[in-house]
Amino acid sequence: MAAEPVNVKEYQELARNALPKMYYDFYAGGAEDQYTLTENMEAFSRITICPRILIDVSNMDLSTNVLGYNISAPIMIAPTAMHKLAHPEGEIATAKAAAACKTIMVLSFSATCTIEEVASCCNAVRFFQLYVYKRRNITALLVQRAERSGYKAIVLTVDTPRLGRREADIKNKMISPQLPNLDGLMSTEVSSDEGSNLEAFAFKTLDSSLCWKDIDWLRSITKLPILVKGILTREDAIKAVEVGVDGIIVSNHGARQLDYVPATISSLEEVVCAVGGQVPVLFDGGVRRGADIFKALALGAQAVLIGRPVIFGLAAMGEYGVKHIIEILKGELELTMALAGCSSVKDITRNHIKTEHERFLS
Ligand code: FNR
């Protein structure tokens, strides 16, 4: 029997072998030149860790709290579309893994299991990710269903007025499966001259007129906390706090939207400084090692979300694979913390890392 994978990279290879090329490319790929896709990961490697020694690390505590929910480690599950293309149990397997690991799962608007199925399969804390459709009544209905099914927050994705150009999907003629949350509400059938229907479907459905005042509209239809996902600049972070959001997720959509935006880890500190502790700042993009999580926490993130690593685990080994991916990252984070002299996540400070620029100046 082949040895168990020991890191995210090895899971990625298993996923590559397990999936049809069209689906692997859909999950792994980014927009256009994929500059930001590479950069999301490489920018982590330009940050070094400054360990402190002779600190008691015999009792480690990775737990943290996000919006009042205790989680076992600062690692959450990012919203990613269409888990049934990776594994027949789809988002249900992912939610069960989230529950087993005592973490939070953000269910994608474009999930292949319904809001209600995922809610009833286990007791994971769940947030619901929202795209705003031109047909606002559909959006409102989905928000109500999430609220009724016990989801604890709405994660409004704000980086997608149109879909980024993912050339692999175009070449592979990637077609979206039916999205069960929309069944009976609207047809997801769209044909496209280029072969893939993803861009055309997004163009037809997403409300590209969405703007800051619509946060008020969203607040008028839900009592749930609202997080905005896709903030990359100081200016937008300030705006988001001004309009009263309950949290910010620094994200570039896993480099699938606008290419040539900076790596998210390079944008994090600017956002954290602008927010000044007024609301929690979460982070995603390119996390593949526990050391990456350590660096994001040192730069002020309260927790990170992982996207592709979850899908790689799911494609390779279903629910077990997702659990294992989270356990691997937790183990790596714990070791990084111990070796850097931090016994709890609260001990991780800005002084525990140096950016390339800081090394150059010192
Ligand atoms: C995503 N992402 C995403 N985001 C979102 O708000 N709604 C969605 O439906 C999806 N779907 C989606 C599908 C796939 C295949 C990927 C890879 C990503 C973005 C996701 O939430 C997250 O921002 C990134 O995945 C984080 O980067 P990493 O961890 O994949 O490097």
Q: Write down the ipTM of this complex.
A: 1.00
Q: What is the 3-state secondary structure (H, E, C) of 114-160?
A: CHHHHHHHCCCEEEEEECCECCHHHHHHHHHHHHHCCCCCEEEECCC
What mean pLDDT is predicted for residues 324-353?
Answer: 98
Task: Return the active site residues.
Answer: 253
- Domain 8-44+56-336 in CATH: superfamily? Aldolase class I (3.20.20.70)
Atom from ligand 1 closest to the CA of residue 251: 23
* pLDDT score, position 1: 62
> Where are the domains positioned within the chain?
8-44+56-336
* pLDDT score, position 311: 98
| Ligand 1 contact, 287 CB (< 6 A) | yes
> Ligand 1: which of 172, 205, 210, 256 to mutate, most ligand atoms within 8 Å of CB?
256
pLDDT, tens digit (0-9, with 9 covering 90-100), for 84-140: 999 999 999 999 999 999 999 999 999 999 999 999 999 999 999 999 999 999 999
* pLDDT score, position 266: 98
pLDDT, tens digit (0-9, with 9 covering 90-100), for 215-273: 999 999 999 999 999 999 999 999 999 999 999 999 999 999 999 999 999 999 999 99
* pLDDT score, position 199: 87
| Ligand 1 contact, 253 CB (< 6 A) | yes
pLDDT, mean over the chain:
96
